[in-house]
């Protein structure tokens, strides 16, 4: 039986919601031309909202009282869907088209949040792998499986959205450019780790091997991020709040927090499924008499 340490989920949820509220409020104020900077630059405001959101999400994920956490995870997914729908509606119908890319720039409101949260999920998986190797606590193995699976899903979606955006702007669906190639390597590397977990039956070997593989594969994440700076790339360099029009902030932030909420809820739910599997594998076999009694 895995022993769960009691820790309140409330601080994580509160921090996550406060971060989202701060991000939306500042973006909304900027949109209507109100000065709410309080002497803080736009970049720093975005960084505060993002860091608070990430800290809240991670705190929520590592606070494991199963009953309330599952309800909160479901609630977070619903809240994330609401944010995502609202942000997408704003991005599709209210925000103006970009000067050169026109309507296809609207793909940014779903592509960029997917990229941020995909890399965040994989980074959380990397942390889980390191903690598991040091603490040998099965909770971290379950969290590793969950975060890698969600990270692979988001990274795969990222590649698909990128291909759809590339066709009208670059004229091709795919190009072996550094950013695209390193992202494809990321997807296949972590997909391989999920396959490894599927095929290894011994739970301890599975956990150790996949933790080590995750740490090795994670080397690709900084390469993905810096690829556009290190090499000549068709893909544009990272934008910053100084280089993005304030009219684009609101849908981008709404969708970023929407996908963050959905991702956090998904990881929590998926880690519950993974933990159930480990619990069953580690449970001692039932005595013969009990087995027969249960069969009757």
Partner 1 sequence: MNTGVVTGGWSYVWAAYSLTAGALFLYGVSLFVRVRRIVQ
Residues that bind partner 1 (CB under 8 A): 70, 74, 77, 84, 88, 92, 99-104, 106-107, 110-111, 114, 153, 157, 160-161, 164-165, 167-169, 262, 266, 269-270, 272-273, 276
Q: Which residues pair with 98 in a beta bridge?
A: 102
Nearer to partner 1, 40 or 94 (CB): 94
Nearer to partner 1, 163 or 185 (CB): 163
Nearer to partner 1, 26 or 274 (CB): 274
43, 241 contact by CB (below 8 A): yes
Nearer to partner 1, 46 or 110 (CB): 110
Least gap, CB of 41 to partner 1 (angstroms): 31
Q: What is the C-alpha separation between 60 and 81, in angstroms, rounded?
A: 18
Least gap, CB of 202 to partner 1 (angstroms): 22
Least gap, CB of 276 to partner 1 (angstroms): 5
Q: How far is CA 30 from CA 24, 36, 37, 157, 248, in A?
A: 10, 8, 9, 30, 10
Least gap, CB of 30 to partner 1 (angstroms): 24
Least gap, CB of 179 to partner 1 (angstroms): 17
Count how many residues are written for the chain. 296
Q: What is the C-alpha separation between 281 and 202, in angstroms, rounded?
A: 9
Q: What angle do CA 259, 262, 265 make, to 5 degrees?
A: 145
Q: How far is CA 123 from CA 100, 151, 214, 217, in A?
A: 34, 9, 10, 11
261, 79 contact by CB (below 8 A): yes
Nearer to partner 1, 88 or 233 (CB): 88
């Amino acid at each position: 039986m895995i022993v769960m340490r009691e820790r309140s989920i409330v601080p994580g949820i509160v921090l996550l919601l406060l971060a989202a509220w701060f991000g939306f409020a500042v973006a909304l104020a900027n949109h209507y031309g109100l000065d709410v900077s309080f002497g803080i630059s736009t970049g720093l405001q975005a960084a505060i909202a993002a860091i608070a959101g990430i800290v809240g999400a991670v705190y929520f994920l590592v606070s494991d009282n199963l009953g309330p956490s599952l309800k909160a995870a479901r609630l977070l997914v619903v809240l994330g869907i609401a944010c995502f729908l609202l942000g997408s509606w704003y991005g599709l119908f209210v925000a103006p088209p970009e000067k050169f890319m026109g309507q296809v720039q609207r793909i940014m409101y779903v592509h960029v949040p997917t990229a941020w949260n995909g890399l965040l999920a994989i980074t959380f998986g990397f942390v889980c792998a390191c903690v598991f190797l040091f603490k040998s606590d099965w909770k971290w193995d379950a969290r590793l499986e969950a975060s890698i699976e969600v990270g692979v899903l988001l990274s795969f979606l990222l590649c698909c959205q990128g291909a759809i955006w590339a066709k009208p702007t670059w004229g091709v669906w795919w190009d072996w450019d550094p950013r695209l190639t390193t992202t494809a390597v990321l997807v296949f590397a972590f997909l391989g780790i999920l396959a490894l977990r599927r095929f290894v039956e011994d739970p301890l070997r599975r956990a150790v091997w996949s933790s080590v593989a995750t740490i090795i594969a994670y080397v690709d994440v900084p390469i993905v991020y810096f690829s556009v700076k290190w090499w000549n790339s068709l893909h544009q360099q990272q934008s910053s709040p100084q280089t993005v029009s304030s009219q684009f902030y609101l849908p981008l932030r709404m969708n970023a927090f929407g996908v963050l909420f959905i991702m956090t809820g998904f990881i929590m739910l998926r880690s519950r499924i993974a933990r159930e599997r480990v619990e069953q594998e580690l449970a001692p076999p039932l005595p013969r008499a009990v087995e027969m009694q249960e069969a009757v």
